[in-house]
């Protein structure tokens, strides 16, 4: 990854708080990850900070969870993921039919790694290669992800509406059920009336009058229930409205994502076009750093697409196992990765296009593998660039 380094010149140790809060990105984070492996003091400090941050949430003002949340949550979790289908769309992505179960697992693992790192990042779990692979995959599936994102949001909305509807239906049922209890009380009422007839000679209600009495209350209750239902349907209609609005918003968001994807594609196309009248602005000969016989040259070309660096080298030392050569553009003590290569015979070359900017040096190092973001190996060749 070609990361711009921050302007901070401080030692990595001073960024440990920012790292613990997950506020470093790109090169800074990689630098800190590497540093923490080597610095016992930082590792210890990181552990303490993580403990502190793990407890900070407890200080939040306590709020009562909504009624019935426990049942809803646990039902959904246990229903949504029986053991035999653990890898399925329980995360709310089952709608994205283009995904395979394997992708899901990948994502779970990736998420998990990130979150476990948040809980305990001192573990050396992220190898540069894995990270690169993940980044690569991310870039490739941008469009797919946009679709999935939308599907997942819609799914969440749908579930929200469903929960709402269930709740409303329950209230409605309760309202409608109240008259039933009146009916069941009827015999008791009648008994009471009979008792009254037996003991009092002054007023004897006719059976019709009794019936009219409870019928009237039943009618009133039903009317009330109907009113409640009417009100609830209004609420539901409003909810539908807001869902429709949300749908539109998501569609617009998807449109935006597509647009940026189109832009990225046209950039890619441009990059594939041949050089047209590229001006060679510098030719630098690369000198061996130690008593090596290696030789190399670097060319800086400028055209309308940007600045291109072409580096070629020969009589390079033999590589072992996973080793590779890596080219760096250096400004002060900040190297920018300009690509890695494995020579054929003892010669190799690499090209790198960048937006421009000034560098003092171009160098080639011998690295343990082809996936480093910062130099780890020895410098082999170097040459000064004119700023």
- Contacts with another protein by CB under 8 A lie at 8, 14-15, 17-18, 20-21, 23, 48-66, 69-70, 72-74, 76-78, 80-81, 83, 86, 90-92, 108-109, 111-112, 114-116, 118-120, 123, 153, 156, 159-160
Closest CA to 310 of 293, 297, 322, 323: 297
DSSP 273: S
Residue with structure tokens 């040259």?
Answer: 297
End-to-end Cα separation, the chain, in angstroms: 24
Residue 214 CB partners (closer than 8 Å, separation 6+) = 182, 183, 186, 189
Cβ-based nearer residue to another protein, 151 or 363: 151
150 to 77, 97, 147, 153: CA distances (angstroms): 22, 13, 5, 5
Cβ-based nearer residue to another protein, 109 or 262: 109
Tokens of 336: 């920018």
Minimum CB separation of residue 50 from another protein in Å reads 6
Cβ-based nearer residue to another protein, 58 or 139: 58
Minimum CB separation of residue 40 from another protein in Å reads 17
324-331/306-314 β-pairing: unpaired
Beta bridge pairs of residue 306: 303
Task: Give the helix ranges, DSSP H, for 141-281.
Answer: 142-184, 186-199, 207-272
Cβ-based nearer residue to another protein, 50 or 346: 50
Minimum CB separation of residue 250 from another protein in Å reads 10
Cβ-based nearer residue to another protein, 67 or 318: 67
Minimum CB separation of residue 43 from another protein in Å reads 13
Cβ-based nearer residue to another protein, 86 or 215: 86
Collapsed DSSP state (helix, strand, coil) of residue 60: coil
Minimum CB separation of residue 169 from another protein in Å reads 18
Minimum CB separation of residue 9 from another protein in Å reads 11
């Amino acid at each position: 990854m070609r990361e711009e380094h921050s302007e901070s010149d401080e030692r990595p140790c001073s960024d440990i708080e920012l790292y613990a809060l997950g506020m470093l990105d790109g090169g800074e984070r990689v630098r800190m990850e590497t540093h923490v492996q080597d610095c016992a003091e930082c590792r210890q400090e990181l552990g303490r900070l993580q403990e502190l941050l793990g407890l900070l949430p407890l200080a939040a003002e306590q709020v009562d969870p909504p009624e019935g949340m426990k049942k809803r949550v646990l039902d959904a979790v246990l229903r949504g993921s029986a053991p035999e289908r653990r890898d399925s769309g329980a995360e709310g992505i089952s709608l994205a039919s283009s995904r395979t179960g394997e992708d899901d697992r990948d994502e779970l693992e990736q998420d998990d790694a990130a979150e476990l790192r948040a809980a305990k990042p001192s573990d050396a779990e992220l190898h540069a290669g894995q990270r690169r692979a993940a980044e690569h995959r991310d870039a490739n599936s941008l469009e797919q992800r946009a679709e999935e994102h939308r599907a997942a949001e819609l799914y969440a909305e749908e579930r929200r509406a469903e929960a709402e509807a269930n709740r409303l239906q329950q209230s409605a049922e309760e309202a409608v059920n109240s008259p039933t209890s009146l009916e069941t009380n009827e015999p008791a009422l009648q008994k009471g009336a009979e008792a009254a007839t037996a003991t009092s000679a002054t007023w004897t209600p006719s059976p019709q009058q009794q019936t009219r009495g409870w019928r009237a209350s039943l009618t009133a209750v039903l009317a009330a229930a109907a009113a409640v239902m009417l009100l609830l349907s209004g609420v539901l209609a409003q909810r539908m409205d807001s869902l429709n609005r949300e749908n539109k918003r998501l569609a617009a968001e998807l449109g935006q994502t597509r647009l940026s994807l189109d832009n990225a594609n046209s950039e890619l196309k441009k990059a594939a076009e041949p050089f047209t009248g590229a001006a060679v602005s510098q030719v630098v000969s690369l000198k061996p750093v130690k008593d090596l016989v290696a030789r190399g040259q670097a060319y800086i070309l400028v055209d309308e697409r940007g600045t291109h660096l072409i580096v070629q080298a020969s009589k390079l030392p033999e590589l072992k196992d996973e080793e590779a050569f890596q080219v760096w553009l250096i400004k002060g003590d900040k190297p920018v990765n300009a690509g890695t290569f494995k020579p054929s015979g003892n010669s190799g070359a690499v090209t790198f296009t960048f937006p421009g900017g000034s560098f003092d040096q171009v160098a080639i190092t011998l690295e343990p593998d082809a996936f480093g973001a910062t130099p780890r190996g020895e410098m082999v060749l170097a040459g000064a660039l004119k700023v």
